[in-house]
Structure 1
Amino acid sequence: MRKWAKEHGLLLANIALFVVFFGGMVISGASAYTEEQAAHGQPGVSVLEYLATGDFVEATFENWESEFLQMAMYVVLTVFLFQKGSSESKPMGKSSPQDEDPRDAKIKDATPWPVKRGGLVLKLYEHSLSILLLLLFVASFTLHAAGGTAAYNEEQQSHGQPTVTMLGYLGTSRFWFESFQNWQSEFLAVAVLVGASVYLREKGSPESKPVAEPHYETGA
């Protein structure tokens, strides 16, 4: 068990942090929502009831949407684009293992089965990471719109204003403000990491070049 935990420590740590922060978001979100309800003379909700509100769905998936968009775009952009000196870029002017054609690889027992199978299965597997991230983005985008529509209509009804369909909500400035305010921050963070990794180091991290590596060396 200890060996397995060590081998999967990075994943386990991130899952644990997600659970902690997600729990904090749910509890604090339910409290904030109840305060807003009270301010409008409406009954509050329990934590479980809060999970069914448009407010919760919107808040959750507008953030997930931006994360999956960032990661999907980063995976795709690093296929074609380079940044001289950055550990986040493939090496420039020489071949990279990631560019090798799997059809030319020597088949071993541990070779992933799509590579052994070949054909369409392999073609999809070659891009499976970006496909997964893009699908998660589309799903989160849709749920953000659905939750946002519910939250928006609840506000409209409380002010005696007409409600909208989900398609109508997609045409509001509020929806796009929510999206753009998250998207811009994600790509700013990526740009800072890509640029900073040219000149700054973190000993022991695979996201950094070796501490003594020259600034102009590209790749990890």
Structure 2
Amino acid sequence: MKRVLRDNGLGIAFGLLFLAALVGQAIAGNADYNDHQTASGGQSASLGEYVTSSSFAVDVAENWQSEYLQFTLYIFATVWLVQRGSPESKTTDRIGGETDEQQQLGRHTTPDSPPWARAGGLRTAVFSNSLGLVMGALFVLSWLAQSVAGVVVRNAELLGRHQAPVSWLEYLGSADFWNRTLQNWQSEFLAIGSMVVLSIYLRQRGSPESKPVGAPHVTTDESG
């Protein structure tokens, strides 16, 4: 058990942090929701009712979709774009999909390589892009979840003001949807751009997200 925890500590730690934050968001969100309901003369909701509501779903999904968008764009952008001196970037001589030898494909595989890396054809093509494809699919699914839950919440607000509800397509073009969406996107782009640039000049000893402490600022694609 100790070895399992040691070998998977990063994934386990962030999984637990995710669950703790999600529970905290549910509790705080339920309290905030009930405050608004009380102020407007509406009916309060139990924690169980709140976490199964569109109000909770839209808040969760709008954050998930921005995170998956960030990683999807970064995965594909770093194939072709580089940043000299950043450990988050490839070197300038590796721009593009790289050679089979660099990627350990086909006859360049090792005995421990995944079977689809040596299979060739469609299977290798799919496996070669599987990370970006899955991240992209998760973004689309969470974006759809946000839009569906969002239109339910929006229509509840409109009906409460005795206004006509909107369709899903109308909601996609609304200021409410894009305000929710873009306020998350801009923060994600700022965060990842800051990481790329700051890691050129700043260090964190022992972290693979940083260059070695003594590495020159111009050193690219090297982790400490």
Counterpart amino acid of residue 56 in structure 1: F
Alignment counterpart, residue 140 of structure 1, candidates 131, 135, 142: 142
Cα displacement string for residues 169-189 of structure 1 (whole angstroms, at most 9, x for unaligned residues): 101011011111100100100
Deviation at 1:106, TM superposition (A): 3.1
- Is the 1:54–1:151 Cα contact (8 Å) retained in structure 2? yes
CA distance in 2, matches of 1:6, 1:100: 34
Helix, strand or coil: the match of 1:37? helix
Deviation at 1:91, TM superposition (A): 1.9
Counterpart amino acid of residue 168 in structure 1: E
2:181 maps to: 179
Alignment counterpart, residue 105 of structure 1, candidates 103, 108, 111: 108
- Is the 1:62–1:182 Cα contact (8 Å) retained in structure 2? yes
Counterpart amino acid of residue 4 in structure 2: W
Q: Does 1:37 align with 2:37?
A: yes
1:160 maps to: 162
- Is the 2:61–2:146 Cα contact (8 Å) retained in structure 1? yes
Deviation at 1:52, TM superposition (A): 2.1
1:63 maps to: 63
CA distance in 1, matches of 2:207, 2:110: 31
CA distance in 2, matches of 1:127, 1:20: 32
Counterpart amino acid of residue 88 in structure 1: E
2:215 maps to: 213
Helix, strand or coil: the match of 2:38? helix
- Is the 2:106–2:119 Cα contact (8 Å) retained in structure 1? no
Counterpart amino acid of residue 41 in structure 2: G
2:133 maps to: 131
Deviation at 1:100, TM superposition (A): 3.9
Counterpart amino acid of residue 216 in structure 1: V
Deviation at 1:118, TM superposition (A): 2.2
CA distance in 2, matches of 1:203, 1:51: 40
Helix, strand or coil: the match of 1:99? coil
Could you tell me the percent identity over the aligned residues? 37
Counterpart amino acid of residue 108 in structure 2: A
Alignment gaps of 5+ in structure 1: none
Q: Does 1:12 align with 2:12?
A: yes
CA distance in 2, matches of 1:104, 1:194: 34
CA distance in 2, matches of 1:106, 1:15: 32
> CA RMSD of the aligned region, Å?
1.3
Q: Which has the higher contact order (CA 8 A, sep 6+)?
A: 1
2:76 maps to: 76
* Runs of 4+ that moved beyond 6 A: none
- Is the 1:63–1:182 Cα contact (8 Å) retained in structure 2? yes
Deviation at 1:107, TM superposition (A): 4.4
Deviation at 1:103, TM superposition (A): 2.0
CA distance in 2, matches of 1:176, 1:31: 26
CA distance in 1, matches of 2:87, 2:62: 30
**TM-score, structure 1 normalization:** 0.95
Cα displacement string for residues 178-215 of structure 1 (whole angstroms, at most 9, x for unaligned residues): 11110010010011000000000000000000000000
- Is the 1:53–1:151 Cα contact (8 Å) retained in structure 2? no
**TM-score, structure 2 normalization:** 0.93
Counterpart amino acid of residue 75 in structure 1: I
- Is the 2:109–2:118 Cα contact (8 Å) retained in structure 1? no
